Amino acid sequence: MRRIATLPAGQSLAGQAYDRFREGLRSGALRPGQRVLESELAERLGMSRTPVREAIRRLQSEGLLAPGPGGGLCVAAYDHAEVDELYVMREALEGTAARLAAQHAGRPEIMLLQRMVADEAALAPEQVAEHNRRFHRALYQVAHNRYLLRALSSLSDALLLLGPTTLDLPGRAAAAREEHADIVAAIAARDAAGAEAAARAHILAAHAARLAMAAAAG
């Protein structure tokens, strides 16, 4: 059984179980459609079943775990329509975040985004996906809208269920790097409309890559 990496302590065992389950989704140790047994998950996490049971209830309430075929639970998996709906919302929300960032981001925040884009060219392949997540989180933060941030945080949870990153597709990481640069350039120029358009174009390209990946998988 593949073990899920440990995370720093400092929270309840149930909270640690919840976070480590999410990390399992990010790392690929847990995949959409995979059956989840309380006893096996407890063993994988190296915990007793009580905190794992509490984490499972939370994961169910957030839609990360769902009833599986034949009973029990499995990691939730999206159908084609749900993936489309997710990307429609992502395009709208991330476009809004970029527009607000162009209006409200401070100079140090813009410089941070510029450094993150500059760093992308030197990343090793195994670093690209995590750096991409950090870039998008930074973009959400510099929009300076707490309600938008909550909505994007919820959306990020849903993205965990999409499986392998599209950045592994040939040429996609390089294209995404250019798209990030376009977004940040518009933010730095205080071009709100341009930033929103660039962010929407980036998510549309990511959606197209996701569809291509699904088609290749059969």
> What pLDDT digit, counting tens, does each position of 77-134 carry?
888 899 999 999 999 999 999 999 999 999 999 999 999 999 999 999 999 999 999 9
Tell me what pLDDT residue 218 has. Answer: 65
Give the number of other Cβ atoms within 10 Å of residue 89's Cβ.
15
Domain limits, the chain? 13-75, 80-217
* CATH number assigned to the domain covering 13-75: 1.10.10.10
* CATH number assigned to the domain covering 80-217: 1.20.120.530
List, in order, residues 6 or more apart from 37 with CB less than 8 Å away: 72, 73
The beta-strand segments (E) located in the chain are: 35-36, 65-67, 73-75
Q: Is the CB of residue 38 less than 8 Å from the CB of residue 56?
A: yes
pTM over 0.85: no
